[in-house]
């Protein structure tokens, strides 16, 4: 994975991000919530420490109960509805960027797939990645 700047944003460009380092983890989440939020069989994600990623523009959060009982926060652009990142700015120590929002799609190099218990049969995942029925660790 490249150490070059990673950038992306929503469909209209109103909500943007930049990170100065490679993600700590990248993969696919097939949980039922991510499937419904994305309108697809999974959300491709990349995880970054909050200290290395910057967001600009207005984000509207959607909050739901996470698998472990806490709160999951997914942020979208209030103008175009594009789903961009997870986590609460100023509160969480990590943020999850949704790989579909990348400016350069080749920056996404998945290593894991999580919540395989919820994966639809029609979803084909790449070979050679680590897979987990739920969340690892």
Residue 79, domain member (yes or no): yes
For residue 44, is it within any domain? Answer: yes
What pLDDT score was predicted for residue 136?
84
Pairing of strands 16-19, 6-9: antiparallel
CA 1 to chain centre: 17
Domain that holds residue 75: 6-131
68 falls within a domain: yes
Whether residue 136 lies inside any domain: the answer is no
Asked whether residue 22 is assigned to any structural domain, the reply reads: yes
**Sign of torsion over alpha carbons 135, 105, 83, 49:** positive
**Cα dihedral 64, 65, 71, 75 in deg (nearest 10):** -20
Residue 66, domain CATH: 2.170.150.70
The count of domains in the chain is 1
Report the pLDDT value the prediction gives residue 91, as an integer from 0 to 100.
Answer: 95
Is 137 within a domain? no
Residue 1 lies in a domain: no
Let me know if residue 76 belongs to a domain: yes
pLDDT at 125: 96
Per-residue pLDDT of the chain (137 residues; tens, 9 = 90+): 445 799 999 999 999 999 999 999 999 999 999 999 999 999 999 999 999 999 999 999 999 888 777 889 999 999 999 999 999 999 999 999 999 999 999 999 999 999 999 999 999 999 999 999 998 87
pLDDT of residue 1: 44
């Amino acid at each position: 994975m490249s150490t070059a700047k990673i950038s992306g944003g929503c469909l209209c460009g109103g909500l943007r991000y930049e990170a100065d380092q490679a993600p700590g983890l990248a993969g696919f989440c097939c949980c039922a919530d991510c499937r419904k939020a994305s309108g697809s069989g999974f959300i491709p994600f990349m995880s970054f420490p909050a200290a290395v990623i910057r967001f600009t523009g207005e984000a509207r959060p959607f909050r739901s109960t996470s698998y472990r009982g806490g709160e999951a926060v997914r942020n979208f652009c209030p103008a175009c509805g594009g789903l961009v990142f997870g986590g609460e700015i100023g509160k969480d120590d990590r943020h999850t960027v949704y790989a579909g929002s990348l400016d350069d799609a080749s920056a996404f190099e998945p290593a894991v797939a999580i919540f395989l218990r919820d994966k639809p049969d029609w979803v084909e995942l790449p070979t050679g990645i680590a897979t987990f029925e739920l969340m690892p660790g």
